[in-house]
Structure 1
């Protein structure tokens, strides 16, 4: 895979949102009214691909469009009401796990009559699901916890159990976490730059926390930056009067792209931590890294995208899914931006 055949589709949804998820053909969008709108993702993608839009090939294949939430109404299937603003969310095995100021909850997405279940009255600011199905909970001044969302794991030590499946790993202030296979990096107060490594041993699914090691954070080099092209596209076909008919190059070839914006080869990975024993080596992987106040996406160390991380409230990739591993979603104060990376043939 090279940049010449990598199509970057940027979809901007205007508005203010609390959170977002993409799972099993459904797009989940939380509004500031504490409403969760659930949309049919596949029908929306089919509608998008049926509209002719120009693809810009310089400096790399790119297409963009901006929409309002009202334009998503034909694809909305239902709305779920919440009583509190959302902190964070994760979907695992068709169950939504989320946190708000009142605690940590679960909610079945398969049963439309399901009730929200309180797991524990613990506000969690980050829910981090590992590739192996382990869930770390960063709860600020309350510390660091793990919820055994998968029945493939058990804890050997039970003295720190708040419930049969919720365990406190550390009482140190925790702002966020990062998984390193079965180990965990715990980030403390950002102003003090406190970081710890939690080392685990897993034997046939039985977990044991062996030690907690303080780490020193080091500054990383700033990644290369590229400028986003201001390609403001819409659902409307370009007209002869707006001058956009000749603002792109077709190279006299018919452009072919996936009708659902899926990809069997392109997928995104988070950049490996220096402590990781398994560094990402897939040459076709798009690597997402956040360092030195920049969020960047690279292909074989070649920059694809770079944005100031200070303006990003939350970002998410979908490495545990089958069809959405080629997507990067970014939440900004006044918009949600979806980046879809697919192959393009000319």
Structure 2
């Protein structure tokens, strides 16, 4: 698959939003840290009928759809409010897990009357879920924890601001996104065991390889900035192509966690100092300047939304959908 074989559908929704999440036919739009509005995504997509939008051909094959927050109102499922500010959240098995100043909670948003359930007290910064559904809580005071079998396990006490999954292993990051150490695990009968802590200075940068076994060595300090919106004028020539299968998005492995073969048919996303970049087979496909968004989401665990990139800015939500062209 080459870049010319990819269709970018660009949906913009004017309005101010704090965060976004997509799960099981529902679009979760956080208006602020205290309120989330849940919309019927399937009904929205049926109404918008993106398969009928014209496909333009320029630097990228693309479709453009512009909406406003008011256009979402007929598809509102419910609004949930929180007394305490929510720091971070995710949705798993139809439960909304979230953090506030008191600890770690969940509720079931699809129920008629969602009830807030406290799982454990504590000061946590973020929640992360991996492909095997291990749920990690990160604290900038107390380190790395895992919520396993309805109890909290502390894996490390070093203050941690972010973490990156590497299969079942955890790379701890400091407030400047610098590696602290790698926690190596083995899984036996679905039970995680911490085997080793590898300090950052013992982690060496390895090369990325794609299925063609071509070595990739891309500098993150390339001296150009490409705006998403430079690629999407409204006067390109029309294309007769149609929407095909999904093009999956995935996070590009951290440079300390490479040494793996990447898929030639996926777009790999990396957040750099000046931009958010998407690469296909090691070549830049699309780049978004960091001042054009404050939050992004992708959905590697999802069967239905793994071809979507969601970007939030102060003025709008941008939903980028990637498909193959027929």
TM-score, scaled relative to structure 2: 0.85
| Cα distance in 1 between the residues matched to 2:258 and 2:232 | 42
Judging changes above 3 Å, is the alpha-carbon distance between structure 1 residues 230 and 141 closer, same or farther for their aligned structure 2 residues? same
Q: What's the secondary structure of 1:250's corresponding residue? A: strand
CA displacement at 1:212 relative to structure 2: 2.1
Listed one character per residue, the Cα deviations across residues 84-125 of structure 1 (whole Å, up to 9, x for unaligned) are 222111111111111122321111134222301111222432
Moved more, 133-142 or 88-97: 133-142
- On the 8 A contact 2:275/2:289 being kept in 1, the answer is yes
What's 1:26 paired with?
26
Of 252, 273, 281, the match for 1:300: 281
Counterpart check, 1:56 vs 2:42: no
1:171 maps to which residue? Answer: 157
**Displacement of 1:54 after TM fit?**
4.0
Distance in 2 (alpha carbons) for counterparts of 1:173 and 1:310: 28
Partner of 1:249: 237
1:327 alignment partner in structure 2: 308
Do the aligned partners of 1:226 and 1:303 also contact (CA within 8 Å) in 2? no
Could you say which structure has the higher strand fraction? Answer: 2
Contact 1:186 1:197 in 2 (8 A): yes
Task: Tell me which moved more, 298-307 or 48-57.
Answer: 48-57
Write out aligned runs for 1:282-321 (5 A): 282-309=263-290, 312-321=293-302
SS of equivalent residue, structure 1 residue 318: coil
Name 1:83's counterpart in structure 2.
83
Secondary structure, in 3 states, of the residue corresponding to 1:22? strand
- For residues 298 and 232 of structure 1, what CA distance do their matches in structure 2 show? 18
**Structure 2 vs 1, CA of residues 267 and 50 (structure 1 numbering), >3 Å: closer, same or farther?**
closer
Which residue does 1:68 correspond to in 2? Answer: 68
1:142 maps to which residue?
142
Q: Determine the structure 1 residue equivalent to 2:8.
A: 8
CA RMSD of aligned residues (A): 2.6
Partner of 1:184: 170
Mapped partners of 2:88, 2:185: distance in 1: 25
- Could you tell me the TM-score, scaled by structure 1's length? 0.81
The corresponding residue for 2:248 is 267
- The aligned counterpart of 1:342 is 323
1:185 deviates by: 0.4
Alignment partner of 1:201 is 2:186: yes
